[in-house]
Amino acid sequence: MPAQASPKFRRRKAERPGEIVEAALAVFAEKGFAAARLDEIAARAGVSKGALYLYFATKEDLFRAVVEQAIAPNVQMVRAMIAAHPGPIRDLLRLVPERIAAIAAALPVGGVIKMVIGEAGNFPELARVWHDRLVAHALGGLSEAIAAAQARGEVKSGDPRTYALQLIAPVLIGVIWDETFAPVGAEPFDVVQIARQHVEAMLSGMLVEEARG
Residue 9 interacts with, from DNA, a copy of itself, none (CB under 5-8 Å by kind): DNA
Segment near a copy of itself (CB under 8 A); pick from 15-23, 40-48, 90-98, 182-190: 182-190
Choose between 15 and 187: whose C-beta lies nearer to a copy of itself: 187
By CB under 8 A, name the one of 43, 77, 82, 120 that touches a copy of itself.
120
User: How many CB atoms are closer than 10 A to CB 87?
Assistant: 10
User: How many CB atoms are closer than 10 A to CB 138?
Assistant: 18
Cβ(159)–Cβ(142) below 8 Å = no
From the centroid of its chain, how far is CA 104?
8
Choose between 9 and 181: whose C-beta lies nearer to DNA: 9
By CB under 7 A, name the one of 23, 47, 149, 194 that touches DNA.
47
Choose between 22 and 144: whose C-beta lies nearer to DNA: 22
60 is a contact residue toward DNA (CB under 7 A): yes
By CB under 8 A, name the one of 18, 106, 181, 188 that touches a copy of itself.
181
By CB under 8 A, name the one of 9, 12, 34, 91 that touches a copy of itself.
34
Residue 207's beta-bridge partner residues?
155
Angle, nearest 10°, between helix axes 160-180 and 191-206?
160
Cβ(93)–Cβ(203) below 8 Å = yes
User: How many CB atoms are closer than 10 A to CB 67?
Assistant: 23
Smallest distance from DNA to CB 7, Å = 3
